[in-house]
Amino acid sequence: MPRVPAADEATALTTRDLRETGLTKRQIAEAVGRGDLIRLRLGRYAPAHTADELVEAARWGGRLDCISLLAARGVFVHTRTGTHIQVDPHATRLPPRPASVRCHWRPTAVPPASLVVDVREALAQAVICQPPRHAIATIDSAWHLGLVDRQDLDAIFARLPAAFAVLRDLSDPRSESGTETLVRLLLRTLGHRPELQVRIDGVGRVDLLVDGWLIIECDSREFHAEWAAQVRDRRRDAAALARGYVTLRLVAADVLSRPDVVRAQLEQVLGHGPAVPRSGASRLVRRDRSDSGSVLPG
């Protein structure tokens, strides 16, 4: 699918816009017939390379929004439920839409011709539309990707009800995947404060380090399907074990679809404690601060 551009790039063209470039009505119709232009609605068009999701949202009388826009921009979203679109509150004469389309009736700060909302608006809506842990994972992902910064997050949560403020305190851009965030939050429910993206001498950087001895790696098919990647992981695990660390590799699919099973597994492993007491703090080189101590809502 073509890349979904930012709000200032995804813009519909009006008949007037096209006429001002020198095109006649006949030439516009011919361009639509050739597929050089896509007719969105009466008097509104889009270039041929425009992503299908944007075209559909515009034809339904809205703009791509919420988790649909974020997923298209590469942000982690746990579950996609239909297409989410923003619709102006006073919009009328809208075409019929499939039942799977989720309409968010609210104003937007983007120009009328924009086919997408601003990513900050989409994130604010996604916080409302998702369970708390999934929302935090989405925020972490957008922050890690550089789509928003700390100041943007302050603005996002300023527009949300005060009850959501606790999620802001639990966000951390060091999580490099949504599954890392979800595992970090599971560990918090067990009373542990894992360190993120820790570099261990002789091993390298690991996803999570718990209580100074348990390394947790969140593996997905995308990065671990090839045999060469598996060989590398086994060598890292052996190097870690030789230094007194235990490595637990969690499968992303289990983290996403069987969180209760993963939580129980983490509880059992951590309950055993390290096989050999160790003081390996001197071997660690930590990149950033450890996770904050706020409490995750239920």
CATH number reported for the structural domain that contains residue 273 in this entry: 3.40.960.10
Q: What is the structure's pLDDT at 282?
A: 40
- Percentage above 70 pLDDT, the chain: 87
Q: What is the structure's pLDDT at 10?
A: 86
Residue 298: strand, helix, or coil: coil
Query: pLDDT tens across 161-195, in order?
Result: 999 999 999 999 999 999 999 999 999 999 999 99
Query: pLDDT tens across 122-175, in order?
Result: 999 999 999 999 999 999 999 999 999 999 999 999 999 999 999 999 999 999
Residue 223, pLDDT > 60, answer: no
Instruction: Determine, yes or no, domain membership for 235.
Output: yes
Q: Residue 213 belongs to what domain range?
A: 178-286
Instruction: Determine, yes or no, domain membership for 172.
Output: no
Q: Is 91 left (phi over 0), alpha (psi -120 to 50) or beta?
A: beta
Residue pair 254/263 in contact by the 8 Å Cβ criterion: no
Instruction: Determine, yes or no, domain membership for 94.
Output: no
Instruction: Determine, yes or no, domain membership for 200.
Output: yes
Pairing state of beta strands 246-251 and 13-14?
A: unpaired
Instruction: Determine, yes or no, domain membership for 220.
Output: yes
Residue pair 104/87 in contact by the 8 Å Cβ criterion: yes
| Whole-structure pTM value | 0.85
Domain count, the chain: 1
Residue 210 dihedral angles phi and psi, to the nearest 5°: -115, 130
- How far does Cα 113 stand from its chain's mean position? 26
Instruction: Determine, yes or no, domain membership for 277.
Output: yes
Mean pLDDT calculated for residue range 245-257: 94
Instruction: Determine, yes or no, domain membership for 70.
Output: no
* Spatial separation of the C-alpha atoms in residues 199 and 220, rounded to whole Å: 20
If one compares 175 and 227, the residue with the highest pLDDT of the two is 175
Q: What is the structure's pLDDT at 259?
A: 96
Q: What is the structure's pLDDT at 219?
A: 84
Instruction: Determine, yes or no, domain membership for 118.
Output: no
Residue pair 294/287 in contact by the 8 Å Cβ criterion: no
